Chain A
Amino acid sequence: MLSKPNVEVSNKSMLGRLFRKNNKNIIGIFTVVLALLFISPYIYIVLTSIKPSSDAISSSPTFFPRQLSLENYVTMFNQMPIIRYFLNSFTTASISTILAVFLGALAAYGLSRFSSKTGHAFLLLTLCVRMIPMISIAIPMYIIINVMGLIDTRIALIITYTAINVPFSIWLMIGFFNNIPKEFDEAARIDGCNVFSAFIKVILPVSLPGLATAAIFCFMLAWNDFLFALLLTSTNAKTATVGISEFLTAYNLDLGPMTAAAVSFSLPIMVFSILVQRYIVSGMTLGAVKE
């Protein structure tokens, strides 16, 4: 550290620093308050779900519960087979995710080692698929699934989610594979791997972060889907989103259990997404921000 050559100047800058630091603190407190205000609708739903059901639909609602109760959760379980709906959501989302990520990774590997031009074509295709409104795919899908006799089956949903997710998964994985030098494959081949086992044993393990990002987004799309589940299922394959929406009745009497269902559906995802935020951020800013 240097000695203090000029006390006055250093005092001045210290004052300035103090002021600036305070300024920063004010901005900090302001931002924290705004952020809490922003998230408060969600907190309100969580708090409402643990109110007695008469308080949940009181004409003079309070933000914080006056009394805690699990009544809404009990009603939710009694009123509909919600566990089956959640299981349907979970199986369709996970199977379609595995399929989309695996098919996507295979295709992306082929493309990235084949030529970079096809990679660009895929970027364009992914963009186009992203532009197509879901409802426009849903209309012909409904007809096709109907003809195949798959209405109200989980297979119908798995097929649909996989189809929508494959282009995205290819695009994301191409980016990752392009960053893996070709020497990796060559080294594996020299060690006696064939092309396929080199892919499975060498390339896939190094690209785990990419696979994780792709899997998170594919899973979320399927888990959160409402439109296709509403259109393609009725009883057996009904998913959680459609089930929850059925708590909305004309006279609003089931709003309490509805909040319980909405929280059960979204809170695990919220916690999970905070844990894997790194992957989500990298997936969402991909394409928008150049590295």
Chain B
Amino acid sequence: MTKESRVSIYFFAPAGIFMLIFLFFPVALLIRDSFFEIDMIGQGRGAFVGLSHYVDAIRSERFIGATTNTIIYVVVAVGFELILGLFFALLLNTAFKGHGIVRTIMLAPLMIAPLVSGLIWRFMLNNQFGIVNKLLYDFNITSSRHAIQWLSDERFSLFSTIIADIWLTTPFMMLVLLAGLQGISPTLYESSQIDGANKIQTFLYVTLPSLFPVMIVAVLIRTVDAARTFDIVWVLTQGGPSNSSEVLSTYMYKTLTRYGQVGESSAMAVMFILLLLAISSYFLFVMFKANKK
């Protein structure tokens, strides 16, 4: 080994050791724990149970329900965010007077904690004092001030958590797509104008295809983040009523803290990791194919 590369290793070692202990070891522990019966109170490691935690989880109605809810949450939230984000990005890209100020306004929620977004919507969607129900009533959309029990009606609870997510992360989508739009070469637009394309054709055949790779990355990042959602759901509904807004993160949290089932929650966590890795590999594959073209 050369002196140069040895020096490099010294530089890398502190971070490497830290990650080894507090990142890779926990993941390894997680995988091992998923095969054992573990009692939280006695702190003891019990019998090896093989894949039975995995089988139990897949067979349990609550796990399937939480997975379904997570998928609905991701698809609806990311779908709306993509459409709204693209809409705002296109508006901001027209460079009207004062677009800088609007951009700043739109980007202000970018760094707000998911928890705070949850609190804001918990307050606005409140059954008794919420302003959303009041506005719906004032505009004659609903017939009473308590018409929709946003957070305690099983039909709306999951939807309400999704609203808080869309509000919080549309600015991120807008920001990334705007950067993508500004990266499209003006010559592409010029040549489409020479070819006599109208605005809609230009959008469909120039803007969208050029934006596609950026869109894939933005959707991938948002999909992973939306799937991991915990704070928003916890603050708004804690997964209730009767598990109607239970997502994977909240279910695993309860399995660990309320029931003390380390083995069970570890098995679910491993499956969750595998699921997200599979989804992101698929996205990266699509992107790789698109880049090749």
A contacts, CB < 8 Å to B: 24-25, 27-28, 30-32, 34-36, 38-39, 41-42, 44-45, 48, 56-61, 63, 103-104, 106-107, 109-111, 113-114, 127-144, 146-147, 159-160, 162-164, 166-167, 170, 195, 199, 220, 223-224, 226-227, 230-231, 241, 244-245, 248, 252, 255, 258-259, 262, 265-266, 269-270, 272-274, 277, 280-281, 284-285, 287-290
Residues of A within 8 A of B23 (CB): 129, 137, 163-164, 166-167
Q: Smallest Cβ distance from B129 to chain A, in angstroms? A: 5
Contact for B253 among A114, A141, A227, A262, CB less than 8 A: A227
Residues of B within 8 A of A159 (CB): 22
CB contact under 8 A between A103 and B18, given known A143-B33, A252-B128, A269-B112: yes
The reply on B139 being an interface residue by CB < 8 A is no
- The reply to whether A61 and B130 contact each other, CB–CB distance below 8 Å, is yes
Tally of chain B residues near chain A (CB < 8 A): 94
Residues of B within 8 A of A142 (CB): 256
Bound Cα distance A56, B92 (Å): 35
- In the complex formed, the residue of A with least CB distance to B16 is A107
Bound Cα distance A104, B14 (Å): 9
Contact for B217 among A31, A57, A195, A287, CB less than 8 A: A287
- The reply to whether A140 and B224 contact each other, CB–CB distance below 8 Å, is no
Residues of A within 8 A of B98 (CB): 28, 32
Bound Cα distance A58, B126 (Å): 11
Contact for B108 among A135, A143, A274, CB less than 8 A: A274
The reply on B159 being an interface residue by CB < 8 A is no
Residues of B within 8 A of A136 (CB): 27, 30, 252, 269-270, 272-273
CB contact under 8 A between A41 and B121, given known A25-B96, A31-B92, A134-B230: yes
The 7 closest A-B CB pairs, nearest first, are A110-B11, A28-B96, A114-B8, A224-B113, A107-B15, A163-B22, A136-B269
Most buried by A among B123, B167, B273: B123
- The reply to whether B19 and A288 contact each other, CB–CB distance below 8 Å, is no
Residues of A within 8 A of B27 (CB): 132, 136-137, 140
- The reply to whether A104 and B175 contact each other, CB–CB distance below 8 Å, is no
CB contact under 8 A between A227 and B256, given known A42-B112, A139-B266, A255-B126: no
- The reply to whether A106 and B129 contact each other, CB–CB distance below 8 Å, is no
For window 86-106 of B, CB contacts with A under 8 Å fall at 88, 91-92, 94-99, 101-102, 104-106
Residues of A within 8 A of B290 (CB): none
Q: Can you name 8 extra interface pairs (CB under 8 A) apart from A163-B18, A262-B119, A289-B179?
A: A41-B121, A132-B27, A226-B235, A227-B230, A244-B119, A248-B235, A252-B128, A288-B218
- The reply to whether B145 and A39 contact each other, CB–CB distance below 8 Å, is no
- The reply to whether A252 and B18 contact each other, CB–CB distance below 8 Å, is no
Q: Smallest Cβ distance from A210 to chain B, in angstroms? A: 16
Q: Smallest Cβ distance from A178 to chain B, in angstroms? A: 14
- The reply to whether B11 and A277 contact each other, CB–CB distance below 8 Å, is no
Residues of A within 8 A of B124 (CB): 41, 44
The reply on B248 being an interface residue by CB < 8 A is yes
Bound Cα distance A160, B18 (Å): 11
- The reply to whether B131 and A288 contact each other, CB–CB distance below 8 Å, is no
Contact for B249 among A24, A128, A134, CB less than 8 A: A134
- In the complex formed, the residue of B with least CB distance to A144 is B26
- In the complex formed, the residue of A with least CB distance to B87 is A34
- The reply to whether B12 and A107 contact each other, CB–CB distance below 8 Å, is yes
- In the complex formed, the residue of B with least CB distance to A36 is B105
Bound Cα distance A113, B11 (Å): 10
- The reply to whether A140 and B131 contact each other, CB–CB distance below 8 Å, is no
- The reply to whether B113 and A226 contact each other, CB–CB distance below 8 Å, is yes
- The reply to whether A31 and B102 contact each other, CB–CB distance below 8 Å, is yes
- The reply to whether B30 and A274 contact each other, CB–CB distance below 8 Å, is no
The reply on B46 being an interface residue by CB < 8 A is no
- In the complex formed, the residue of B with least CB distance to A277 is B107
- The reply to whether A61 and B114 contact each other, CB–CB distance below 8 Å, is no
The reply on B4 being an interface residue by CB < 8 A is yes
- The reply to whether B18 and A162 contact each other, CB–CB distance below 8 Å, is yes
Can you give 23 A-B contacts (C-beta < 8 A)? Answer: A24-B97, A36-B105, A38-B167, A39-B106, A39-B109, A44-B131, A106-B14, A109-B11, A111-B11, A129-B23, A130-B221, A133-B273, A139-B269, A163-B23, A170-B15, A241-B113, A252-B128, A255-B129, A270-B111, A284-B175, A287-B217, A288-B217, A288-B221
